Amino acid sequence: MSWRPYGLREGSTVTGTLLEWPGLGDAQHAPRTVLAWLPPSYHEEPDRHYPVIYFHDGQNVFDAATSNSGEWEADETLTRLAGEGLEAIAVGVPHGGERRFFEYSPAAVQAPDLPEGGGADAYVAYLVDTVKALVDSSFRTRPEPQYTVTVGSSMGAVVSLHALLTRPDVFGHAGLLSPAFWTGGDFSLEQARHSPTPSGRVWVDVGGRESEQPGRAEAYLRDAQTLAEVLRAGGMGDRAAFLTDPQAIHHESAWAARLPAALRFLLGGPVQEAASPGTAAPLAP
């Protein structure tokens, strides 16, 4: 088995070099096709090593033809950011279908109308021991946590925070778009309050129309803002960025629109759109 060129299909919207590794699973996770996008300079600068961004819900990250309801346009965004000197390898890890909620949820006890949760520890172990191990052995990565980013939306944001807080030896930065913390009650916020302060950067954003249910829409907004406040009060200061978009809905199109600002911040570039995000030295060498 080896990486192979991504198999384009009717309606594919892929930009740049995208590779795939079929059937990557472990004892607790069904095999799935993991995707790896290489930055424009990868083959032109053979001595250069790159940060890596790990995206959850990988079906929706690069290609509209495989997405559930639209793509994140991560390949197009990263191509544009390369023009600003911000380059990274991007890895898309598909969710486990019907087991998606279980894989991404760190809390075993959920609201009554939700499926079983509690699989996040095992999923993070799969991400680290299987996916990241393969990526680091295959590509010219910078494997240290200060060059490793995890990004997700909704439940993918929940598991991104969980990965950052439970495996700081692996993940240094996290992008949390429209986090669905309400699904686990107070679990994620309490975890953030009682965990060591992350050493890197955290991007948190949320829309004003995340749900058609007013109470749930309010929960999205309240919890995202609370997390940003917890992180800043815990010592992160402006290494924690928080952005609200009052008109944004809970959809890939909204996350695609906010992704350039999120990645620019996480990779070390300036972000005017965020509330006092600060700046940091770029992760790219």
pLDDT of residue 104: 97
Q: What is the pLDDT of residues 73-114, one digit of tens each?
A: 999 999 999 999 999 999 999 999 999 999 999 998 656 678
User: In this model, does residue 41 exceed pLDDT 70?
Assistant: yes
Which 3 state secondary structure label does DSSP give 5? strand
Number of Cβ atoms within 10 Å of the Cβ of 61: 30
Kindly give, in sequence order, each residue whose CB lies less than 8 Å from that of residue 275, ignoring residues fewer than 6 positions away. Answer: 241, 242, 243
Q: Phi/psi of residue 208, each to 5°?
A: -85, -10
pLDDT of residue 27: 97
Please give the Cα distance from 191 to 199 (Å, whole number): 16
Q: Rounded mean pLDDT of 197-218?
A: 97
Task: State the maximum Cα–Cα separation within the chain, in Å, rounded to a whole number.
Answer: 53
Closest of 2, 146, 22, 12 to residue 66, by C-alpha = 12
Token code pair at residue 154? 């909704």
Band of pLDDT at residue 281, cut at 50, 70 and 90: very low
Contact in structure between 103 and 68 (CB atoms under 8 Å): no
Please give the Cα distance from 118 to 255 (Å, whole number): 25
Burial 160-193 (b: 16+ CB within 10 A, else e): bbbbbbbbbebbbbbbbbbbbbbbbeebbbebbe
Please give the Cα distance from 191 to 227 (Å, whole number): 10
Architecture, CATH, for domain 4-266: 3-Layer(aba) Sandwich (3.40)
User: In this model, does residue 36 exceed pLDDT 50?
Assistant: yes
Percentage, residues of the chain above pLDDT 70: 93
Band of pLDDT at residue 276, cut at 50, 70 and 90: very low
pLDDT of residue 238: 93
pLDDT of residue 1: 81
Contact in structure between 218 and 177 (CB atoms under 8 Å): no
The structure's pTM equals: 0.94
SS (H, E, C) 61-91: CCCCCCCCCCCCCHHHHHHHHHCCCCCCEEE
Element (H, E) at 18: strand 17-26
Please give the Cα distance from 75 to 87 (Å, whole number): 11
User: In this model, does residue 48 exceed pLDDT 80?
Assistant: yes
